[in-house]
Amino acid sequence: MSYVDGFVLPVPKRNLRQYVSMARLGRKVWLEHGALDYRECVADDVKPGKYTSFPQSVKLKKGETVVFAYIVYKSRKHRDSVNAKTMKDPRFAEWMKGKKMPFDGKRMFWGGFKTIVAA
């Protein structure tokens, strides 16, 4: 089975174009270093829930949207190897240096998951 890193984050709608540019670079770098799949998805049907929801999970503010993203790897070991290469990639490092992120990283959350069912 595969291994997946998942991410959920709030992005101001006015910054979505900049975020997409960053995501395209991320896709290119992660896939070149061996990731099997890379997806960035913007909210389309995510309403606040009674107890929890995507909007509530990131403390969504007016004028923001939720992004759900994931990267697929062969295994956790493979993920660790790909991420180590990605973090050293000069294209990625240069983009990160001194640039203001187009989202609030303090309200982003992520984690690694073992796949238990796949098509």
85: domain CATH number is: 3.30.70.100
Rounded CA separation 15/27 (Å):
18
Quick: pLDDT tens for 30-80: 999 999 999 999 999 999 999 999 999 999 999 999 999 999 999 999 999
CA 62 remoteness from chain centre: 21
pLDDT of residue 98: 60
Q: How many independent structural domains does the chain possess? A: 1
Q: What is the pTM of this model?
A: 0.93
Q: Which two tokens stand for residue 57?
A: 């999970």
Identify whether the C-beta of residue 1 lies closer than 8 Å to the C-beta of residue 101: no
* pLDDT for 93 beyond 80: no
Rounded CA separation 15/61 (Å):
14
pLDDT of residue 95: 66
Handedness of CA 76, 100, 31, 24 (dihedral sign): positive
Structural domain harbouring 103: 3-114
72 domain-assigned: yes
119 domain-assigned: no
pLDDT of residue 53: 96
